[in-house]
Amino acid sequence: MPTTFRTPLTIDSLVTHGCAVCRVTHADLTDADTSQTLTLSTLAVGLGESAIPANARPMFAWVNVIVPFAGGGNTEVTVALGDAGDIDELISAVSVFTGASGILPKTGTYSLGAFEAAYAPIATFTTTTGTCAGLTAGILEIVIVYQQILTESVTG
């Protein structure tokens, strides 16, 4: 089951820096074809966990391969990370297949832009030869460091 977590840090009551983490396993990939997209902000959030908040922008991203993906006759599995406007703006398709390990850094074209009312990151998994549902192994964490502008009410 995918999870997101980390506690954000607020500086001067105006800017929050945080880290959203989403764990994805082979069991989360259920499509019987060669591609599946997961919208990370709609995944279940457990106790003490958080996703990217409103009025935020991503600062950096990486993938931590805990167990490489394998099985189902696949010869390759990649993941890309972005949003609906650009599916690989944070991470261009990087291999998470057998042999991949550790931290796979940002490879996309994202440069700091405007804060978005609701940044909704998506991860696109693509397989070769087999299907997403055929995978029998694989665990990774997607990490997105973000910055959020906080708004305060002024009363006088």
Torsion sign across C-alpha atoms 146, 57, 62, 139: positive
Count CB-CB contacts under 10 A for residue 26.
22
Local confidence band at 138 (pLDDT 50, 70, 90 cut-offs) = very high
The edge-to-edge listing of strands for the beta sheet with 76-83 is 35-39, 122-128, 76-83, 86-95
- Give me the domains of the chain, ranges plus CATH numbers: 4-149 (2.60.120)
Q: Measured in whole angstroms, how far is the alpha carbon of residue 49 from the centre of its chain?
A: 14
pTM: 0.81
Q: Is 135 exposed, middle or buried (0-12, 13-18, 19+ CB in 10 A)?
A: buried
- pLDDT tens track for 67-118: 999 999 999 999 999 988 889 988 999 999 988 887 877 777 777 666 777 8
